[in-house]
């Protein structure tokens, strides 16, 4: 089932991103900017009233411009049922990101069918560097072109600032909760609202586009938590239930993703080691 592997790759992108990327039109951006300005004004003049999701996201959007670097720890549990067979996959991921210029370092440990696989990678504006599991050496893939290179190239916009922009587009559908220290934004639905935001995530890669069409989303529950004082993100959680049909066989997938943000503007020296850059052998991501 070739497309299942592609779909799993897509879901790991969602783990890293928290949510997808959208291509809003200029008109929508203008409307969003106007809404943000109105929200900021309302938040200042009516501070004694309960905040709305639009107001909170407007303030968070402004503050996100101040975010220069951050860390994120994530976990994923995925259960896939194919006929009578059940396959469970668990992953733990640690990521450190410098926003501008973009540099990311990431480690991941994945457990499936009794085996544990460790993944180590770096990314900058030009290349993705990954440690080859078999040889122990380093390979690199250009951000340009089709396949994984194109897919991962979209990660350049997967910062908290971009996530907040995505949520602003569906602010009317967000339920806001408040505690003494947090704003908690909740979205629940059958997948149309949230998965609509991933429309351009896969670019023009035909395998990824085909995989998206194979998905039947039954339910997505998405929670994004902001620090009440700084408006920086603290955590996100996403639970997905979906079905994929291929060759007349229906596969059920249930996935739970959790990520926690930390060290906001506290990281130093997020960079790609010189030995990785020098030793990496370039590969064609579309091969």
Apex 190 CA angle, 207 and 76, nearest 5: 60
pLDDT at residue 273 in the model: 94
User: How many independent structural domains does the chain possess?
Assistant: 1
Where would I find the beta strands (DSSP E) of 125-248? 127-131, 138-142, 175-178, 182-189, 215-227, 233-246
Instruction: Output the domain CATH number for residue 235.
Output: 2.50.20.20
pLDDT at residue 24 in the model: 30
pLDDT at residue 234 in the model: 94
pLDDT at residue 188 in the model: 79
pLDDT at residue 15 in the model: 47
Q: What are phi and psi of 16, to 5 degrees?
A: -70, -40
pLDDT at residue 219 in the model: 83
114: left (phi over 0), alpha (psi -120 to 50) or beta: left
pLDDT at residue 18 in the model: 42
Q: What's CA 176's distance to the chain center, in Å?
A: 21
pLDDT at residue 215 in the model: 76
Strands of the sheet containing 85-98, edge to edge, are 175-178, 182-189, 215-227, 233-246, 249-262, 69-82, 85-98, 103-112, 115-123, 127-131, 138-142, 281-283
pLDDT (tens digit, 9 = 90+) per residue, 141-168?
887 655 554 555 455 555 677 778 778 8
How do 138-142 and 281-283 pair as beta strands?
parallel
Q: What are phi and psi of 232, to 5 degrees?
A: -80, 155
pTM summary value: 0.74
For residue 265, what are the domain limits?
2-283
pLDDT at residue 211 in the model: 65
What contacts 47, CB < 8 A, 6 or more positions away? none
Per-run averaged pLDDT (10 residues), the chain, 287 residues? 48 45 34 52 45 90 89 93 89 91 90 90 89 90 62 57 77 89 86 55 56 76 92 91 81 91 92 94 73
pLDDT at residue 83 in the model: 82
């Amino acid at each position: 089932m070739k497309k299942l592997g592609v779909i799993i790759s897509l879901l790991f992108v969602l783990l890293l991103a928290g949510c997808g990327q959208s291509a809003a039109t200029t008109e929508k951006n203008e409307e969003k900017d106007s809404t943000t300005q109105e929200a900021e004004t309302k938040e200042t003049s009516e501070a004694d009233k309960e905040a709305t999701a639009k107001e909170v996201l407007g303030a968070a959007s402004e503050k996100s411009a101040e975010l220069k670097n951050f860390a994120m720890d994530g976990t994923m549990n995925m259960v896939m049922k194919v006929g009578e067979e059940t396959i469970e996959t668990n992953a733990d991921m640690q990521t450190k990101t410098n926003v501008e210029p973009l540099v990311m370092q990431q480690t991941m440990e994945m457990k499936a069918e009794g085996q544990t696989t460790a993944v180590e990678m770096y990314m900058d504006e030009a290349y993705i560097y990954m440690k080859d599991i078999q040889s122990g050496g380093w390979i690199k893939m250009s951000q340009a072109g089709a396949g994984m290179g194109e897919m991962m190239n979209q990660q350049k916009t997967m910062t908290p600032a971009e996530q907040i922009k995505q949520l602003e587009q569906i602010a009317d559908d967000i339920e806001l909760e408040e505690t003494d220290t947090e704003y908690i934004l909740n979205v629940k639905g059958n997948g149309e609202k949230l998965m609509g935001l991933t429309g351009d995530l896969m670019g023009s890669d035909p395998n990824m586009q085909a995989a998206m069409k194979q998905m039947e989303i039954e339910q997505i529950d998405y929670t994004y938590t902001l620090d009440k004082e700084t408006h920086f993100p603290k955590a996100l959680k996403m639970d997905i239930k979906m079905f994929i049909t291929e060759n007349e066989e229906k596969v059920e997938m249930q996935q739970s993703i959790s990520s926690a943000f930390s060290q906001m503007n506290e990281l130093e020296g997020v960079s790609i080691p010189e030995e990785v850059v020098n030793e990496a052998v370039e590969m064609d991501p579309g091969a």
